[in-house]
Structure 1
């Protein structure tokens, strides 16, 4: 039995891809649908699917990040809403992509190639250079970045310039915004905030934690292989989930 996961932060494209896969490849078992990259990475580690259908742009951990982190443990097919200019880099690699909205005919082509690749027992390609090129191109796409975070505290509105924020942590209702000398809570979900944060500056290290990378002073690994990080100027330590431990592997 061939198995696969689907990772996309939008519900409708995820369900539509499952529907079309059920039609063009009924023998394929979809073992999980994931709403973001961290879930996808955890599922790949736990379930070891043969194929991962990964949306290129997801908040925090992108499809490219997931493919890099799993290091060839499964075949990857990227889904993207970008036009052909942004995905020219695919032309040089033995990898497939699906341009949204995905057509059934195009999906059938991708499925046929996947079947041929697996039937001939071709190894999963090393996509490091390709993904680096894609990542560079896609991150250069203009995105309106957040410059200020405003938080209501009683009758007061606190203003936090984004360059002074050390980390964001989120529960189901609120997102905590922390600087060296102050903090507050905002009602905006972390997922929405991440759309406006520069991923080169702010790293997601846990499902509910995003940290300023240049504020990290050290990462500690315990006897179980779990990481915590320390930030400059504060005593609070932040946990790193397994999905993001790859950020702290020695070079």
Structure 2
């Protein structure tokens, strides 16, 4: 079993390395101390199982799982029990609460051996499930976008608008655009409804980014944003805007 260890604490990685060393069928193929390293290592090393910390700087464990995709099995390792529901919603094999004894790790590995003989559940993409989990625990505060080997973290408060692009969305912030493989409706559910509004079937706008609303064509309107971007507004979107801006 090829295993990757991801934790920002050196001591936590050392404990896992020691416990895993007692299992002859486990090969530790790498260690990472942050989420960015983890996404790259998962892509390059293709481990069977990832022991993944949740609270890490820059990218948390759930964002790593979203960016790395659903072909990898995860055991989440954390000092906080409030993330357990979210962990199992992304089909985690197990959830280890720090500090844990060797016997608890043995049980997680036993679960992993059973799961590795079965296909990964494909009821929903990991991105959708992590999105749903975030909704239950608060609105999305940042959007992570993978661009080849690079990962961009875009604070939600800096996003000007989001545009549907077939099976992708274009995240537009500060004059730059990033493509993310996600449906507009899914992202709409994750964003703060008090800060963002879907004004058109193909556009979501951050309300604070609107400079003014102008007439456009017969009975139509558009939103003028900072940077001169012009976003079409549907009739239903215009009614929603009027209600919010009263």
TM-score, with length taken from structure 2:
0.56
The answer to whether the 8 Å contact 1:87/1:134 transfers is no
Structure 2 residue runs of 5 or longer lacking an equivalent are 163-169, 184-246
Q: Distance in 2 between matches of 1:130 and 1:205?
A: 16
Q: Which of residues 87, 111, 121 is equivalent to 2:109? A: 111
1:130, distance to aligned residue in structure 2 (A): 5.7
The answer to whether the 8 Å contact 2:48/2:73 transfers is yes
Q: Distance in 1 between matches of 2:35 and 2:160?
A: 25
Counterpart check, 1:231 vs 2:173: yes
Q: Distance in 2 between matches of 1:17 and 1:57?
A: 17
How many residues of Structure 1 are paired with residues of Structure 2 in the alignment?
171
Q: RCO (CA 8 Å, sep 6+): is it higher in 1 or 2?
A: 1
Alpha carbons of structure 1 residues 136 and 8: separation in structure 2 relative to 1, 3 Å: farther
TM-score, with length taken from structure 1:
0.55
* Superposition pairs of residues 3-22 of structure 1, within 5 angstroms: 3-22=2-21
The answer to whether the 8 Å contact 2:6/2:52 transfers is yes
Alpha carbons of structure 1 residues 108 and 12: separation in structure 2 relative to 1, 3 Å: same
1:17, distance to aligned residue in structure 2 (A): 0.7
* CA RMSD between the two structures: 3.6
Structure 1 residue runs of 5 or longer lacking an equivalent are 141-198, 220-227
Question: For residue 81 of structure 1, what is the aligned residue in structure 2?
Answer: 79
| Rg larger in structure | 2
Counterpart check, 1:216 vs 2:152: no
Q: Distance in 2 between matches of 1:47 and 1:67?
A: 15
* Superposition pairs of residues 51-66 of structure 1, within 5 angstroms: 51-66=49-64
Q: Distance in 2 between matches of 1:106 and 1:79?
A: 11
